[in-house]
Amino acid sequence: MSPLPATRFVDVRGTRIRVRESGDPAGEPVLLLHGIGRSLEDWDDQHAHLAGYRVVAADLAGFGYSDRVPGPATLEKLADTAVATLDALGETRPAHLMGNSLGGAVALLISVRHPDRVTSLVLADPAGFGSEVTPALRILGVPVLGRFLLGRFDARAARQTERSLFVDRSLVTEERVQRGLDIGRRPEFAQTFLDIATGLGTVQGVRPGWRRALLAAAARAPRPTLVVWGERDLILPASQLRAAARALPHVTTHVFGRVGHMPQIEAAGEFAALALGHIGSRAETTAVRAPVPAGAGRVAAVPGA
Taking residues 5-9, report their average pLDDT: 98
Q: What is the mean pLDDT of the chain?
A: 87
Domain ranges of the chain: 8-131+207-284
125: nearest Cα among 78, 95, 165: 165
Q: Is the pLDDT of residue 105 over 90?
A: yes
Class level of CATH domain 8-131+207-284:
alpha beta
Neighbours of 292 (CB within 10 A): 12
User: pLDDT value at position 203?
Assistant: 58
Q: How far apart are CA 123 and CA 98, in angstroms?
A: 6
User: pLDDT value at position 249?
Assistant: 79
Q: How far apart are CA 141 and CA 198, in angstroms?
A: 5
pTM summary value: 0.89
